[in-house]
Structure 1
Amino acid sequence: MATSAVARETVFALRRQIAKIEGTLPERLEAPASSSFDADVPRQSLTPSRHPTPARNLTIVRRGLAVAPPDAFLRTGAERLDAALSGGLPKAAVSEFHGAATRDAGAVAGFALSLVSLILSQGPRLPVLWIGTSEVFREAGFPYARGLHAFFGIEPEQLLFSEAPGLLDALWIAEEAARMTALAAVILEIRGSPQRLDLTATRRLHARAQSAGRPLFLLRQAGEPEPTAAPVRLILSAAPAATRKTLAGPLAGSIGRPAFTVAIGKSRTALPGKFTLEWNPDERIFEERRGEQGRSQEWTPERPKNPIPVVSASRRREDPAAASGAVLAFPAVGSPAAGDQSPRPERPAHRRPRRAGRGA
């Protein structure tokens, strides 16, 4: 009995050490008062102890992770995406947002600002710090001040910027800012895949965010997916905007709400998935764009059908058949129509008489 207890304690200690390294160390949660909790949810205490742990100190584990309270996640409003992320994006953690190319920097920044708007609407309106290198701001620019209030409800003075000369300075600023509770969130924007942004650096950022209970959004411009300590990685790109909806129907030729294509690249609790979200600037919430059968739909603009080819066929191929149309009669080139006179022959320029005046 003593040997089995020591072995069990050793296993628990190893599990706890592995969870600490992976950043999935569960917290002690009080067991529910009623027994109406899901019966299939295993209950396990990962804290080694020789004595039986009281029921109120048991840790509830689901899918291998500790179940956090509902307010530990930031819900986007898109039900299927929140369900895929097991409740939404974690508030006290590093969340990684990737743009495959530099042209996706606007979509990544817009998605991050939408999340900041959700955070400010649910809690105290604290300032937000946006950190980036000179290269990042030179390539992607800064958010438009008027658009911050109109689309996201963020006052310009609430968004603070810190431009660092290099990556090391940006990481140092992010680590110091991540531990501050006077900030609602911290945004760190990095371009490419620098070697110094490795697993160790992101673990430090993740630990600071967890201790402060604040989110840290890591924006990656044209970066390759690499191992990081972020529990969630989303791949973002811009989606075509739909037309504006009016009482009379869709307004042709108009541009509707901002739209994003969101793909789950990495998550400890979710399977890979792809969603098309629209940001509602009036309600300040995301809405999923769905098709007729309720599935997530990537909207594509309708183009008018034109049977006439824009360019001719390539060589060694038959020319496409000419489109039928009205046949009009035109006079042949070089043969004047009836009643027209032939043009007078024009003399060469060097034989023309000079105009009267100076130098004549």
Structure 2
Amino acid sequence: MAISAVARETVFALRRQIAKIEGTLPERLQASAPATLDADAGAGPGGDLTIVRRGLAAALPDAFLPIGVERLDAALGGGLPKAALTEIHGLETRDAGAVAGFALSLVSLMLNQAQGLPILWIGTSEIFHEAGFPYARGLHATFGIEPGQLLFSEAPRLIDALWVAEEAARMTALAAVILEIRGNPQRLDLTATRRLHARAQGAGRPVVLMRQAAGPEPTAAPVRLIAASAPAVPRETVAGPLAGSIGRPAFTISIGKSRTALPGQFTLEWNPDERGFEERRDKERRAENPVPVVSLSGGRKDPAAAAGEILAFPAVGSPISPTAGNQPPPGQRATHLGPRRAS
């Protein structure tokens, strides 16, 4: 009996460890509901019962950071996991500003729940020279982030940036850790992302991996979002849209990977005043504010002739018939009948 109990506890410990590696968080169940347990359930530390499911795992409601858009949060299964590695991709170099802006929007949401803790932004010298640093005055005006709340660490090499990220990810004195990397370097493999994901789970803090001009590849992150810029719409006023103005920052967000495996694409606008996201429905906006794509021509009395009229032309190589309708006016000669220039 003792050997059976030890073997059973060993199996449960291995299952919990596999679930942590795969990113499926175990859910603690109440002891008063033993009937809900299945073959994968076991006794956790302190007598609490835990259940580990393959694939999707139920989690506590406060385990996610809601983005604030109902459809996007539902597609992600509640939002972004707080204690996990999350990827934000930019497919092209020109998307670097959109990726950074979307990440700063998430930072603003994280700081609302961090109780004054700072956020560390880590990057290599190459990425900071290519994409630049965030503007301090813009951080406060657009995202409500004080300059002292956002710390930067510039590493000369990728291996140094990964080391700083792993050490920072285990610190509970930080609200979150952001690692910005360009492309698909070989050193950032599945093992490296597993280490970052494990550090995030151990500290209970989010780690955001920003990848500029990168393609999708296998990682340990349970969520991958692809960010790109979206065209801004004119500012809304009491009298309607203000012509020639530039509205709120807009992002096109695509779900590349999630716990629910539900695809989707969303256009989000960041509200600098409310410090939150709002979904923009482009089709509904075009229906409410119809604008002609091409303006009507002016300076003529009659509209253009309707399509479908047939015009007869002489066949190639055939002489022009000497009819009155085919004769050119006096003093003019058909261009194709004139001699070509030697030069």
Q: State the TM-score, normalizing by the size of structure 2.
A: 0.77
Aligned counterpart, 1:90: 81
Greater relative CO (CA pairs within 8 A, separation 6+): 2
Give the C-alpha shift of residue 29 in structure 1.
3.5
* Contact 2:27 2:60 survives alignment (8 Å): no
Give the C-alpha shift of residue 32 in structure 1.
7.7
Name the SS of the counterpart of 1:59 in structure 2.
strand
1:167 aligns with 2:142: no
* Contact 2:41 2:52 survives alignment (8 Å): no
* Contact 1:239 1:259 survives alignment (8 Å): yes
Name which of structure 1's ranges 111-120 and 15-24 shifts more when overlaid on structure 2.
15-24
**Which of 216, 225, 228 lines up with 1:225 in the alignment?**
216
Name the SS of the counterpart of 1:268 in structure 2.
coil
Give the C-alpha shift of residue 66 in structure 1.
3.1
Aligned counterpart, 2:205: 214
Aligned counterpart, 2:125: 134
Give the C-alpha shift of residue 303 in structure 1.
6.8
Name the SS of the counterpart of 2:89 in structure 1.
strand
* Contact 1:44 1:59 survives alignment (8 Å): no
1:101 aligns with 2:76: no
1:305 aligns with 2:294: yes
* Contact 2:82 2:206 survives alignment (8 Å): yes
Name the SS of the counterpart of 2:50 in structure 1.
coil
The change in CA–CA distance for 1:13 and 1:111 in structure 2 (over 3 A counts) is same
* Contact 1:280 1:287 survives alignment (8 Å): yes
| Equivalent-residue separation in structure 1 for 2:112 and 2:30 (angstroms) | 29
1:280 aligns with 2:271: yes
| AA matched with 1:90 | P
* Contact 1:120 1:126 survives alignment (8 Å): yes
Alignment length (residue pairs) = 300
Greater share of helix residues, 1 or 2? 2
Aligned counterpart, 1:187: 178
| Equivalent-residue separation in structure 2 for 1:59 and 1:162 (angstroms) | 39
Give the C-alpha shift of residue 272 in structure 1.
1.0
| Equivalent-residue separation in structure 2 for 1:169 and 1:114 (angstroms) | 26
**Which of 237, 241, 249 lines up with 2:228 in the alignment?**
237
| Equivalent-residue separation in structure 1 for 2:66 and 2:25 (angstroms) | 22
| AA matched with 2:121 | W
| Equivalent-residue separation in structure 1 for 2:61 and 2:151 (angstroms) | 29
Aligned counterpart, 1:23: 23
Name the SS of the counterpart of 2:105 in structure 1.
helix
| Equivalent-residue separation in structure 1 for 2:289 and 2:222 (angstroms) | 32
* Contact 1:178 1:186 survives alignment (8 Å): yes
| Equivalent-residue separation in structure 1 for 2:292 and 2:255 (angstroms) | 30
Q: State the TM-score, normalizing by the size of structure 1.
A: 0.73
The change in CA–CA distance for 1:197 and 1:285 in structure 2 (over 3 A counts) is same
The change in CA–CA distance for 1:112 and 1:44 in structure 2 (over 3 A counts) is farther
* Contact 2:95 2:228 survives alignment (8 Å): yes
Aligned counterpart, 1:153: 144
The change in CA–CA distance for 1:32 and 1:113 in structure 2 (over 3 A counts) is farther
**Which of 300, 306, 320 lines up with 1:325 in the alignment?**
300
Name the SS of the counterpart of 1:237 in structure 2.
strand
The change in CA–CA distance for 1:192 and 1:70 in structure 2 (over 3 A counts) is same
* Contact 2:120 2:151 survives alignment (8 Å): yes
Superposed, 1:43-58 pairs within 5 Å as 43-44=37-38, 46=40, 48=42, 57-58=48-49
| Equivalent-residue separation in structure 2 for 1:231 and 1:300 (angstroms) | 39
Give the C-alpha shift of residue 123 in structure 1.
2.9
| Equivalent-residue separation in structure 1 for 2:52 and 2:159 (angstroms) | 37
* Contact 1:89 1:95 survives alignment (8 Å): yes
| AA matched with 1:220 | R
Aligned counterpart, 1:266: 257
Name the SS of the counterpart of 2:19 in structure 1.
helix
Q: 1:257-315 CA distances to partner (integer Å, 9 max, x unpaired)? A: 11110100011223111111111111111111125679xx9x9996751578xxxxxxx
The change in CA–CA distance for 1:85 and 1:300 in structure 2 (over 3 A counts) is farther
The change in CA–CA distance for 1:300 and 1:149 in structure 2 (over 3 A counts) is farther
Aligned counterpart, 2:329: none
The change in CA–CA distance for 1:20 and 1:155 in structure 2 (over 3 A counts) is closer
Q: 1:65-86 CA distances to partner (integer Å, 9 max, x unpaired)? A: 3322211100011000001111
